[in-house]
Amino acid sequence: MVGKMKSILKVLMILVAATLTVLQIQGCGGGGGSSTMASTGTLKLSITDKQSDSFAKVIISIREIRVVPAGREGAADNDPGLPVVKHFDTPMVIDVMQLQFVQQALGEVVIPAGTYSQIRLVLDPEPANYLTLNTAPNIKVPFKTPSGKQSGLKVLGPIEVRAGVINAFMIDFDPNTAIVAMGNGDYILKPTGIRIVRMPDGLSQFGSVSGNVISTASDWSSATVLVKRRGTINDTDPIAAGTIFSNYTGGAWQAPFAVFVPPSTATVAYKAFVAANGFQLYSSAAVSVASKATTDLGAIHLIPTP
């Protein structure tokens, strides 16, 4: 009888140990499975434009738009790891000169939340992309789009896609800095003249806060421009933000910016902040913004950190 009881206890102990092992494996597997489930957010993309005294038309023909996750900058355009925002069976043809304070929707897509380093605009070959000058509005001048039809025109971010919300970004196409005359009659499209701005979703009317960031002391490479509401609403997070990249011209490192916001009210104004490594944080006075108008802060001279 005693021997029989020992055998039963031994079997029970083995069963208990096996059950615990299974529970531990299931616990690890269940926890790991839930932690590896990627959270997603909606990326909503549009494009707008600044006016120019030089160009009557600037036509771009877009075949596809992709976003590039941080760390995948060397991936080919057809890499399945680059989410497609929009593919156009018939290329989307845009005259960006018609988009001053107008949003042209480009597409939206649900993608994993996280940081994306660039947006790629895959363009048609050069003859499809052209400009006309105000001085000769009937003459089409094709402009070169380096890598635009092979690896895509790379518009630099970063783009932060937050989980569970609509993340609205505007491509700010500034023809004054994006289109460069080469001196021999040719023009090229320069991606650093095209900027990505995070903005509130669903703006039917908006204006902008603009300025030109300058340093004669040293290269600031890149800077983050943020705009926050001040008044009856005091933002902790910016209502709109973007990254700009410096160019050396006129004896200084400089770059213009425009940040798009809803029109201000009698009780809400806007403050702009510019942050660059090695320089003091710039903070503007509170300014008002009207619909379809630019509030220009002028030259913003960065001061090196002591």
* Model confidence pLDDT, tens digit, residues 144-170: 887 655 567 899 999 999 999 999 999
Residue 145: CB partners within 8 Å, gap ≥ 6?
Answer: 123, 126, 129, 153, 188, 189
- Which residues, 6+ apart, have CB-to-CB distance to 306 below 8 Å? none
At 131, list the tokens. 């400009």
pLDDT digits (tens, 9 = 90+) for 262-286: 999 999 999 999 999 999 999 999 9
Distances (CA, A) of 83 to 75, 80, 101, 197: 12, 7, 28, 19
The neighbouring-strand residues paired with 294 are: 208
Structure pTM? 0.81
214-224: average pLDDT:
95
* Domains parsed from the chain with CATH numbers: 38-198 (no CATH), 202-306 (2.60.40.10)
DSSP alpha helix (H) spans, the chain: 2-36, 175-178
β 268-275/104-112 pair status: unpaired
Residues 172/191, Cβ–Cβ less than 8 Å: no
DSSP-derived secondary structure letter, 97: G
Arithmetic mean of pLDDT, 117-139: 92
pLDDT digits (tens, 9 = 90+) for 51-80: 888 999 999 999 999 999 999 999 988 899
How far, in whole angstroms, is CA 161 from its chain's centroid? 10
Residue environment code for 278-290, b if the CB has 16+ CB neighbours within 10 A, otherwise e: ebeebebeebebe
* pLDDT above 70 (res 38): no
Q: What is the pLDDT of residue 21?
A: 36
